[in-house]
Chain A
Amino acid sequence: MTTSLTQLTIHESHERLKTGDVTSEELTQAYIKRIEAVDPQLNCYLTRVFDSALLQAKKADAQLKQKSDVTPLTGIPLALKDIFITKGIRTTCASKLLDNYIPPYNSTVAEKLDRSGAVLLGKLNMDEFAMGSSNEHSAYGPVKNPWDLTRTPGGSSGGSAAAIAADLCAGTFGTDTGGSIRQPAAMCGIVGMKPTYGRVSRYGIIAFASSLDQVGPMAKDVMDCALLLNAITGHDARDATSIAAPVPDYTHGLQSGIKGLTIGVPREYFIDGIDPQIENHVRSAIDQLKLLGANIVEISLPHTEYAVPVYYTIAPAEASSNLARYDGVRYGKAAPGAVDLADLFKRTRTEGFGPEVTLRIIIGTFVLSAGYYDAYYLKAQKVRTLIKQDFLKAFHNVDAIVAPTAPTAAFKLGEKSNDPLQMYLNDIFTIPANLAGLPGISLPCGLTENNLPIGLQLIGKPLDEATLLRIAYAYEQSTEWHTKKPSMQKSDAKK
């Protein structure tokens, strides 16, 4: 065994678990050890549940031994972004307001994971209420990028992406409202997918912007991504927006290649402001896809430039309403000693929400308020229609779209935290898929001169996750990028 257990992918671990070569308990112990050794530097885990993880591992070992109820995730140590409601396990959403919130109910995803026999190691850091692109907006401190500890891992699923990259869990699920899975996946050199809106139940996902939020897998490679997606996809009667469409086995057809597929390259995604190194690597990746037999055509998504202002109207509007429930009455941390009702509401919320969440509540409340609704909110919804139409038109001619995931590689901690507009622009390539409800995936396609990962994004037709995974798999298997591991060092110390 030259590679350590924690470096194994899910499918590799599964093979070993099945043969009895390794037990889930050993695997879980290996992750626990690594978390204890490495996480103090990264700050990925907000809550660790190692005792229950070891119990789950023992149960999984018994199942594996008896070959009963074994799924591809049985005995695999996973973790969850702290936005997923987990019954009996502290769920904070990285907010002080929910500092000691232990829910007595479960999210559908956590329930499904439990049934799959997976082992839950703990809950992962994120931007508070998933609002951020750098994981600097967590009430529990920022997460460091394992490729360079002076940089952010991206966000909002920053803890999740960093944990996978640093082998602190075998796989995880994030949520993606404007790029919160794909952008950190790109910045940490892992695979992250946002499925079609409605493909995965949102029940028990702490809401940020309900018409945009979607759960998706984050993994070490494309095969793992497909396995994780298999475990959580499908209609849920508890989510009225979940889609009642048949669910394929996403691991099938991964190897069937991409010959004859037409892939579009949107001209609006290669703009001024994109890091030339990113553009170069993405262009080479596109060449590679061509080499693998895909037809590459240039397309236009003319309303792309409006996606950021549309998103930063709609998402805060929905968030301002979604976050109204945190009033200190029924749960969460109430401001002590309130003199009256208004004081309870105002102090609970003002003291409880961090500055970025507060700013978004302000924006969202403003754009919905009397006199501004039409000029801001309604207008944004109309432009959203145009953005969606751009994609639908494009998909008449192409099977998928290829683009960079983010305009830059991981940026320095603190670099953009004072300039929301700069921060928001980092989501420019990921936001459109959310606005249109389309599936998207990010996978590694290179490293910058500073040894920072670069993400390749693929965007697909509604419910066509399978084609995205097929293209991603073909690309991944023909390159070495997914095998690169982070240095776990500070950039200054490197030289």
Chain B
Amino acid sequence: MNYESIIGLEVHAQLATKSKMFCACSTAFGNPPNSNICPVCMGAPGALPVVNFAAVEMAIKAGLAFGSQIQHKSIFARKNYFYPDLSKGYQISQYEFPLCLGGHLDIPLASGETKRISITRIHMEEDAGKLTHDYGHAEKSHVDFNRCGVGLIEIVSGPDMRTPQEAADYFRKVRQILVYLGVCHGNMQEGNLRCDANVSIRKVGDTKLGTRTEMKNLNSFKAVERAIAYEINRQIAAVERGEIIIQETLLWDDAAGKSASLRSKEDAHDYRYFPDPDLLPLIVTTDWIEGIRKQLPELAAAKAARFVRDYGIPEYDAEVLTAERDMALYYEKCIAVYNSPKKISNWIMTELLRELKNEGIDITACRITPEHLAQLVTLIDDGIISGKIGKDVFEEMYTTGHAPAAIIDTKGLKLVSDTSELDAIIERVLSTNQKQVEQYKSGKVAVFGFLVGQVMKETKGQASPQVVNELLKKKLS
């Protein structure tokens, strides 16, 4: 029996604002537990939320990038449930009237074609705190409220994906766009992006959707792919055994590579959404939307096309260079210093990406500045150093972050092209190799190479081969 799977994703993205969604506490990651808290995000009696302007702008940006209809009036609602990481006993979210409706995203398929994934809605909400289960007393859990109240957008896709691979590609693409827009830092380790998947299966040819399950806690691209594959297999096996799929929430355990049901007495969720009386409707004017639209940055696909068009680099290079926004910016900064797009692209694609991958860091943490990389390529092109020595200089730059010129100076790597210095060396070589000089003069031209080699040896490889050639020819004529 053949089955197809129906997959929809809900992506939660932390907004890259400086302060939280409803209070002035910092969103900085990695501060001591419970240091970024105030009466508002701690749900202290009498404290009130006020919406962060920048958070709204970022949500609108995302909506515009995904082709959503930005709603002129949206409403914040309360989602009521109890949990120790939820400080007010409700989460402020948008429910009936979200900020963005509709939209779509095209993802590449293995076949080379693209597939359009519909987006149902994008709404704003706040994050919860973080629970720790392995601190102190074994019978206790511990709460850090630093994350509580950080702004989020939830991007809800239609049930349009058919394979775990498509789902992971969609998630990657969403991340790429949000990072390009500057609305999310996109750091998976820090939990900037999290994802829930709705999965169901049906027999190929059926038009009716099967019962879906919701899988939570998918926090990496790999987890999305593995968890969905696992769930599809689980559902198929269950159906084959004649069981009925029940609608339930599952928690993915990435370390164990399996999911567990979250079914409990409380799972009969009844969130009692209602408009938050502390927050009046969010009104977004056409002027505001259009102002934001004008500021939308160039996204990856457009940038890649421009790189091919303007810089004449291959499509493959352009795609690699634009995969991460920061890498694309790095590349463009290099070009601005030295307009040699293909050579710079080669250095990045071969040397730089390899080093970064080995070290496991991304371009923002790279010690070589774009200016220095551009200078290195310039120095080679100008014949100051050879391409071979350039690689040694690059290694040194990568480790120390020093400027290429400084490295060349201190290590004395500069090619010798001073003719008076070379003259003396050539005289010496010619006088110690009288026999070969005679042979050359008698027409045995092949010894020329030997003589060049002797000069290069004397200069320890730092002589410019071109200059040596010229000078030798002159002396021998």
Instruction: Give residues in A with beta carbon < 8 Å to B.
Output: 84-85, 91, 93, 98, 101, 103, 105, 107, 202-207, 209-211, 237-241, 317-318, 320-321, 323-327, 329-331, 341-342, 345, 365, 368-370, 373, 377
Shortest Cβ gap from B135 to chain A (Å): 16
* CB-defined contacts of A369 to chain B, threshold 8 Å: 270, 272
Q: Which listed residue, A239, A318, A342, touches B48 by the CB 8 Å rule?
A: A239
Q: Which listed residue, B42, B46, B89, B145, touches A85 by the CB 8 Å rule?
A: B46
Beta-carbon nearest neighbor of B34 in chain A: A330
Instruction: Give residues in B with beta carbon < 8 Å to A.
Output: 38-39, 42-51, 78, 80, 82, 84, 87-90, 143, 145, 266, 270, 272, 274, 277-280
* CB-defined contacts of B274 to chain A, threshold 8 Å: 317-318, 321, 368, 373, 377
Beta-carbon nearest neighbor of B279 in chain A: A240
Beta-carbon nearest neighbor of B145 in chain A: A330
* CB-defined contacts of B90 to chain A, threshold 8 Å: 321, 324
* CB-defined contacts of A205 to chain B, threshold 8 Å: 46
Determine if B48 and A103 form an interchain contact, defined as CB atoms under 8 angstroms apart: no
13 contacts between A and B (CB under 8 A): A98-B45, A203-B46, A203-B48, A206-B45, A210-B277, A238-B50, A324-B80, A325-B43, A325-B45, A325-B88, A345-B82, A368-B272, A369-B270
Determine if A103 and B270 form an interchain contact, defined as CB atoms under 8 angstroms apart: no
* CB-defined contacts of B280 to chain A, threshold 8 Å: 240-241
Determine if A85 and B278 form an interchain contact, defined as CB atoms under 8 angstroms apart: no
Shortest Cβ gap from B280 to chain A (Å): 6
Tell me, in angstroms, the Cα distance from A368 to B50 when the chains sit together: 24
* CB-defined contacts of A345 to chain B, threshold 8 Å: 82
* CB-defined contacts of A237 to chain B, threshold 8 Å: 50
Determine if B277 and A325 form an interchain contact, defined as CB atoms under 8 angstroms apart: no
* CB-defined contacts of B87 to chain A, threshold 8 Å: 325, 330
A237-B50, A325-B43 known; A370+B270 contact, CB < 8 A: yes
* CB-defined contacts of A329 to chain B, threshold 8 Å: 84, 143
Tell me, in angstroms, the Cα distance from A320 to B80 when the chains sit together: 9
Determine if B39 and A105 form an interchain contact, defined as CB atoms under 8 angstroms apart: yes
Q: Number of residue pairs across A and B with beta carbons under 8 Å?
A: 100
* CB-defined contacts of B145 to chain A, threshold 8 Å: 330
* CB-defined contacts of A330 to chain B, threshold 8 Å: 42-44, 87, 145
Determine if A207 and B46 form an interchain contact, defined as CB atoms under 8 angstroms apart: yes
Determine if A204 and B43 form an interchain contact, defined as CB atoms under 8 angstroms apart: no
Tell me, in angstroms, the Cα distance from A369 to B273 when the chains sit together: 9
Tell me, in angstroms, the Cα distance from A330 to B44 when the chains sit together: 8
Tell me, in angstroms, the Cα distance from A255 to B78 when the chains sit together: 46
Determine if A210 and B278 form an interchain contact, defined as CB atoms under 8 angstroms apart: yes
Determine if A321 and B49 form an interchain contact, defined as CB atoms under 8 angstroms apart: no
Tell me, in angstroms, the Cα distance from A318 to B77 when the chains sit together: 12
* CB-defined contacts of B49 to chain A, threshold 8 Å: 240
Tell me, in angstroms, the Cα distance from A331 to B47 when the chains sit together: 14
* CB-defined contacts of B143 to chain A, threshold 8 Å: 329
* CB-defined contacts of B44 to chain A, threshold 8 Å: 85, 103, 105, 330-331
Shortest Cβ gap from B353 to chain A (Å): 47
Determine if A204 and B270 form an interchain contact, defined as CB atoms under 8 angstroms apart: no
Tell me, in angstroms, the Cα distance from A209 to B276 when the chains sit together: 11
Tell me, in angstroms, the Cα distance from A233 to B16 when the chains sit together: 35
Q: Which listed residue, A209, A210, A321, touches B272 by the CB 8 Å rule?
A: A321
A324-B88, A345-B82, A368-B272 known; A211+B46 contact, CB < 8 A: no
A105-B39, A327-B89 known; A321+B84 contact, CB < 8 A: no
Tell me, in angstroms, the Cα distance from A341 to B209 when the chains sit together: 37
Tell me, in angstroms, the Cα distance from A203 to B40 when the chains sit together: 10
Tell me, in angstroms, the Cα distance from A93 to B45 when the chains sit together: 10
* CB-defined contacts of A342 to chain B, threshold 8 Å: 266
Tell me, in angstroms, the Cα distance from A318 to B279 when the chains sit together: 13
The 7 closest A-B pairs by CB, nearest first: A324-B89, A211-B277, A210-B277, A368-B272, A204-B46, A325-B43, A85-B46
Beta-carbon nearest neighbor of A323 in chain B: B89
Tell me, in angstroms, the Cα distance from A210 to B276 when the chains sit together: 9
Beta-carbon nearest neighbor of B39 in chain A: A105
Determine if A324 and B82 form an interchain contact, defined as CB atoms under 8 angstroms apart: yes
* CB-defined contacts of A373 to chain B, threshold 8 Å: 272, 274
Determine if A240 and B278 form an interchain contact, defined as CB atoms under 8 angstroms apart: yes
Tell me, in angstroms, the Cα distance from A318 to B78 when the chains sit together: 10
Shortest Cβ gap from A148 to chain B (Å): 34
* CB-defined contacts of A84 to chain B, threshold 8 Å: 46
Beta-carbon nearest neighbor of B85 in chain A: A329
Determine if A203 and B47 form an interchain contact, defined as CB atoms under 8 angstroms apart: yes
Beta-carbon nearest neighbor of B143 in chain A: A329
Tell me, in angstroms, the Cα distance from A238 to B51 when the chains sit together: 10
Determine if A321 and B45 form an interchain contact, defined as CB atoms under 8 angstroms apart: no
Beta-carbon nearest neighbor of B22 in chain A: A240
